[in-house]
Chains A and B, each alone.
Chain A
Amino acid sequence: MAYRLPNSFSSSQQIEVLLSEVEKLKPAVLALPQKWPTHLQEFAQTNAIGSLTIATQAKLVSYLKALLSSSPQISLVVASMPNGEELNELTGWFRSHIHPHTMIHIAQNSDLLAGCVLRTSGQVYDLSLRSNLFANSEKLVERLQHA
């Protein structure tokens, strides 16, 4: 069974927390979603899960473990830190355009001015305004001279 990963679960740490919650879920509350932990409730809401059985619990555990081992990890350094919704939007863009299980580890560096520095397992992409300005510093100087 395939599940839809909520964009609010942007990092692998959040998936680990969810996995832990699912594994620790006692049989007595499997059918009581209101008693489920926060992350599991959110995941259940995204995937329209009303209750769990022991079997579905086990499947969910397997799914989450597979997700942790195979999901692509991206390190993102941004000039300004997004809030929750902004991060969801950003995560949603990655999962829509790059890979559906993209996990993002986000940090901030205001020296970038704008944009980001993105690191995958094999590449570094400097998409910052700072590097763009340096790359076009001649134009910058030219404009300053003619200002």
Chain B
Amino acid sequence: MDLIILVIGVFLAIVALIFGLLILVDKKEKPSQKDSVELTLAKAKREFDVIVANQSASLEKSLQNNADKISKAFITSLEQVTQKQLSEFSAATQSLLKQTVADLQATAKENDAATKLAHNELNALTAQAKADAIKKVDTQIAEIMIGYMADIAGNIDYQQQKDYLFSSLEAHKDALKKDIEASVK
């Protein structure tokens, strides 16, 4: 009896062990499967993410790189252009500045002379204008006077002004004679 119980017990133990093992195996098999899938999934996801990330990163990088490149190129070009322009501009500006300074200096010198000349000319013009104005006034006064004299002297006969006539003719006698002799030749 004891033996039978012992055998049954061993058998049960073995069965239990088998079950246990089986269970364990199942368990072990499930996680690996699970792991593999998940792993795969995860891996895939990770890899995908990585890829995406990498792609993105690479894209970004590429973009960045490109942008950098573009930027750099642009900037470089710009810089180059700018530099060139700046150089040229600088050169031109410098030249212009030099010329302007020279001109200003010359103008400053000329201005003194020009100012003096302008002053002199202005003074001369003013003096001339003044003289002309005075002359106009004088002429107007003279016209009035002469007109007045003509009014009061309108009845002066030939005898009263004969001396003036002959003295005037005498004063121009030589010129008259030369003129007449030339006309009759």
Contacts and interface: CB of A to CB of B under 8 A. Distances in A.
A3 interface: no
Interface residues of B, number: 36
Given A86-B159, A122-B183, A141 B172 contact: no
A132 to B, nearest CB: 8
A48 interface: no
Nearest to A145: B141
B176 A125 contact: yes
Contact of B138 (A98, A113, A127, A138): A138
Interface of A: 70-72, 74, 78-83, 86, 90, 93, 97-99, 102, 110-111, 113-116, 118, 120-123, 125, 127, 129-130, 133-134, 137-138, 140-141, 144
24 contacts: A70-B184, A71-B184, A72-B183, A80-B157, A80-B158, A80-B160, A86-B158, A86-B159, A93-B169, A97-B169, A97-B173, A98-B173, A99-B184, A113-B153, A113-B161, A114-B165, A125-B176, A127-B168, A127-B169, A129-B161, A129-B164, A134-B142, A137-B141, A141-B138
Interface of B: 135, 137-139, 141-142, 145-146, 149-150, 153-154, 156-162, 164-166, 168-169, 171-173, 175-177, 179-184
